[in-house]
């Protein structure tokens, strides 16, 4: 018994050495990039974050601080924890700064051309052994990987929002992904406190593919005037033990992102259940994008609590 424990301790400390040695980076610090950076820094690792301009860096830094301040107000974090986390996040505006990184996570918007452009550039900048990770929810990872010379070192990590709070991550591999890549990314996921599940590259994976028709149906029920937004969410929370109702969940994800995923799934899978509800299109046109703009299916105060 004692021997096993000692072995475990040695194994843990070895794995710790590997993980501490890994240099990790994120490209794109919006909703997901900020959350992933916080999760990595909370686990005691340093993380480089690249945004497209100095203004975008300032904006992301301010939003990340705001969200951590909300955590402090809820007694979920201390001021010194916040300081320590922020000190481990190093901001840049130049991809070249990532040339020594071991794991590079792309978290730019769900646009195939943009994601390919980032992977293409990274392939030329990053060291040969570096692993590339995409956060795409619905795009073909295989298609994105085509622009690189390292298909064996490519995976997707599909985190869910809010990343620091949701313990799940879907690990997505393409046919060429090497077992060693999967092993390393799995170890990395566990080291930042996530429980990984494995899934092959297919639009929407498990989570997005399952949740999107539910969100779409809730929006149709609202559009048809069958029940209020509040009652639809209450029904699903109390009836099915959901922590968050579908309409608030869509607001939390960002209605523009939700619309992009629906369009992508509808286009690639051809199933009418993914065809975006006209109400969603209208709200996105009106820039009512959910919590990030203060209004979506519900209105929110500064602490992102529902006002009405």
Stretch that binds ligand NAD, among 31-39, 243-251, 269-277, 278-286 (CB under 6 A): 31-39
Tell me: does residue 29 bind ligand NAD (CB under 6 A). yes
DSSP for the chain, please give it: -HHHHHHHHHHHHHHHHHHHH--EEEE--SHHHHHHHHHHHHTT--EEEE-SSHHHHHHHHHHHHHHHHHHHHTTSS-HHHHHHHHHTEEEES-GGGGTT-SEEEE---S-HHHHHHHHHHHHHHS-TT-EEEE--SSS-HHHHHTTSS-GGGEEEEEE-SSTTT--EEEEEE-TT--HHHHHHHHHHHHHTT-EEEEEES-TTTTHHHHHHHHHHHHHHHHHTTSS-HHHHHHHHHHHH--SS-HHHHHHHH-HHHHHHHHHHHHHHH--GGGSPPHHHHHHHHTT--BGGGTBSSSBB-TTS-B--
Contact by Cβ (8 Å): 49, 89 = yes
Residues 192-221 that bind ligand NAD (CB under 6 A): none
Among 43, 45, 135, 277, binds ligand NAD (CB under 6 A): 135
Tell the smallest beta-carbon distance from residue 123 to ligand NAD (Å): 15
Stretch that binds ligand NAD, among 2-10, 28-36, 69-77, 198-206 (CB under 6 A): 28-36
- The tokens describing 167, both together, are 């313990």
Stretch that binds ligand NAD, among 67-75, 102-110, 237-245, 294-302 (CB under 6 A): 102-110
Tell me: does residue 32 bind ligand NAD (CB under 6 A). yes
Stretch that binds ligand NAD, among 13-21, 154-162, 167-175, 180-188 (CB under 6 A): 154-162
Contact by Cβ (8 Å): 189, 159 = no
Residue with tokens 């980076």: 25
Tell the smallest beta-carbon distance from residue 60 to ligand NAD (Å): 6
Cβ-proximal residue to ligand NAD, closest one: 30
Tell the smallest beta-carbon distance from residue 195 to ligand NAD (Å): 16
Among 161, 263, 268, 293, binds ligand NAD (CB under 6 A): 161
Residues that contact ligand NAD, how many (by CB under 6 A): 27
Residues 37-96 that bind ligand NAD (CB under 6 A): 50-52, 56, 60
Tell the smallest beta-carbon distance from residue 89 to ligand NAD (Å): 14
Among 31, 64, 229, 283, binds ligand NAD (CB under 6 A): 31
Contact by Cβ (8 Å): 296, 279 = no
Tell me: does residue 254 bind ligand NAD (CB under 6 A). yes
Tell me: does residue 140 bind ligand NAD (CB under 6 A). no
Tell me: does residue 28 bind ligand NAD (CB under 6 A). yes
Which residues lie near ligand NAD (CB under 6 A)?
Answer: 27-33, 50-52, 56, 60, 107-110, 114, 135-137, 158-161, 253-254, 257
């Amino acid at each position: 018994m004692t021997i096993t424990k000692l072995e475990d301790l040695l194994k843990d400390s070895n794995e710790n050495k590997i993980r501490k040695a890994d240099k990790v980076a994120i490209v794109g610090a919006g909703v997901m990039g900020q959350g992933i950076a916080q999760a990595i820094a909370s686990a005691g690792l340093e993380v480089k974050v690249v945004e497209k301009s100095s203004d975008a860096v300032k904006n992301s830094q301010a939003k990340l601080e705001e969200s951590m301040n909300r955590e402090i107000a809820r007694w979920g974090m201390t001021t010194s924890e916040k300081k320590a986390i922020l000190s481990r996040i190093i901001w840049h505006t130049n991809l070249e700064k990532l040339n020594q990184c071991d794991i590079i996570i792309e978290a730019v918007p769900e646009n195939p051309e943009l994601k390919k452009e980032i992977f293409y550039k990274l392939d030329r900048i990053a060291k040969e052994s570096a692993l590339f990770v995409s956060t795409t929810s619905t795009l073909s990872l295989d298609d994105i990987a085509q622009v690189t010379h390292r298909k064996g070192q490519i995976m997707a990590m599909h985190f869910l929002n809010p990343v620091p709070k949701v313990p799940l991550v879907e690990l997505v591999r393409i046919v060429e992904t090497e077992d060693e890549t999967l092993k390393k990314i799995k170890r990395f996921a566990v080291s930042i406190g996530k429980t990984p599940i494995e899934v092959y590259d297919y639009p929407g994976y498990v989570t997005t593919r399952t949740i999107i028709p539910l969100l779409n149906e809730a929006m149709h029920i609202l559009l048809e005037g069958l029940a209020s937004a509040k009652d639809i969410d209450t029904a699903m929370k109390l009836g099915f033990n959901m922590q968050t109702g579908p309409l608030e969940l869509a607001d939390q994800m960002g209605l523009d992102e939700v619309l992009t995923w629906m369009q992508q799934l509808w286009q690639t899978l051809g199933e009418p259940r993914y065809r975006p509800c006209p109400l969603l299109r209208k709200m996105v046109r009106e820039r009512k994008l959910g919590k990030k703009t203060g209004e979506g299916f519900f209105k929110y105060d500064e602490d992102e609590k529902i006002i009405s």
